[in-house]
Structure 1
């Protein structure tokens, strides 16, 4: 199976393995860990290093890199845990809480959701 960009699933898996092999929690400093669920109608899998937009507030979409740590590939309709590092969290403080579900988009199209399991960046943690 080839993606329109010319990549095969094997290419995507190898890229994910490479990113995961170099992963260092202390250097990467993810903002949170989430359960990423990919919509079943999506025609192509995603892998570690993917950077979809995350709907962190009602009016803020921000890019976030996801590093899966149980498998290198997430197929449509599946879920997996991932570390997520968001772009410019200083612009949307106190927006995350454990259990919250965040939409995940590519452009204007929703491709899945991320359920927040743990928040590591105290700046993003919603006050109770």
Structure 2
């Protein structure tokens, strides 16, 4: 089950992003808090392939979300990375996993 829904934007190659489009099932790293990078699997709504520079709505399922509780809120923007290389951003639109929800 997905942990969050997000508006996901991939940088173009000219902006420093990837060289190739991404597909549903993509598993990049996400900087969920200042000092914690974790892997998450993307699934895009009504789309299998996402072109660079495009913004789509989809879900992210993180690994071990219990290791970083209370770190996300609706509107938070997290980086999408391949190792230390930022390839895009995800703006949280819904949180399905209550463990991750930061009480503001």
What is the Cα deviation at residue 49 of structure 1? 0.3
Q: Which has the larger radius of gyration?
A: 1
- Does 2:78 align with 1:102? yes
Q: Distance in 2 between matches of 1:77 and 1:84?
A: 19
Which structure: greater helix fraction? 1
Q: Which has the higher contact order (CA 8 A, sep 6+)?
A: 2
Structure 1: 4+ residue segments shifted above 4 A: none
- Does 2:54 align with 1:78? yes
Aligned ranges for residues 43-82 of structure 1 at < 5 Å? Answer: 43-82=19-58
RMSD over equivalenced CA pairs, Å: 0.7
What is the Cα deviation at residue 37 of structure 1? 0.3
For structure 2, list consecutive stretches of 5 or more residues without a partner in the other structure: none
SS in 1 for 2:66: helix
TM-score for the superposition, normalised by structure 2: 0.93
Which structure: greater strand fraction? 2
What is the Cα deviation at residue 116 of structure 1? 0.2
Structure 2 counterpart of 1:40: 12
TM-score for the superposition, normalised by structure 1: 0.76
What is the Cα deviation at residue 70 of structure 1? 2.2
For structure 1, list consecutive stretches of 5 or more residues without a partner in the other structure: 1-28
